[in-house]
Amino acid sequence: MKTVTKDIWEFRDTHWIVIPTNLQGPMGRGLAQQAKTRWPGLELRWKRQCAQEGRTVFWSGPDYNISLILFPVKYRWKEPADLKLIEKSLETISNFEEPTAIPQIGCGFGERDWVKEIEPLMEKYLGRKSNFLLVIMPDSVKTKYPKSFLPARRR
């Protein structure tokens, strides 16, 4: 898995984009809110899907002109990200073969630690996959995110 520091939306024409979500349906913060703002009606479709199945959803079509993977990281929007749910979602996409841009899932409003908790899971499921691109959002793009969103520097 390659890593870049860019705005994840720059990959919208060439990659599927992973959008961290909750299983209640609201898309009110982070990348989920950005996606909802860009594509009106997406949140309603996601809420309907959550009520029916509650799982990772792959969405692509002319009505959105983009390919999204709505990726559950928490059960309720107010709670921290759930590591078991993240692992289940990573397992779901691990055999996906299309070019895919994935952010540091669970580390923004999910309040998880990148180095200790999320990076090892991503390495386990996606580390050797050349079609996955880890996108670290620069500060200029994610001004709405808490400071904890940035990973600790590797030594």
Position 152 in a domain? no
Phi and psi at residue 100, in whole multiples of 5°? -135, 130
Of 61, 54, 91, the residue nearest 75 (C-alpha): 54
Is the confidence at residue 150, as pLDDT, over 70?
no
CATH number at residue 86: 3.40.220.10
101 burial type by CB count under 10 A (0-12 exposed, 13-18 middle, 19+ buried): buried
Number of structural domains, the chain? 1
Position 115 in a domain? yes
What letter would DSSP give residue 95? Answer: T
Position 21 in a domain? yes
Position 151 in a domain? no
Position 153 in a domain? no
Of 109, 105, 102, the residue nearest 133 (C-alpha): 102
Mean pLDDT of 121-142: 82
**Each residue of 36-93: pLDDT tens digit?**
888 888 888 888 777 666 577 776 665 566 788 888 899 888 899 999 999 999 998 8
Q: Which domain holds residue 53?
A: 2-141
Is the confidence at residue 127, as pLDDT, over 80?
yes
**Each residue of 15-43: pLDDT tens digit?**
889 999 888 878 888 888 888 888 888 88
Ranking 31-45, 119-133, 141-155 by mean pLDDT, the lowest is 141-155
Position 6 in a domain? yes
CA distances from 67 to 46, 59, 63, 129 (A): 14, 6, 10, 19
Task: Look at 146 and 119; give whichever has higher pLDDT.
Answer: 119
Position 114 in a domain? yes
Position 10 in a domain? yes
Mean pLDDT of 125-139: 86
Is the confidence at residue 135, as pLDDT, over 70?
yes
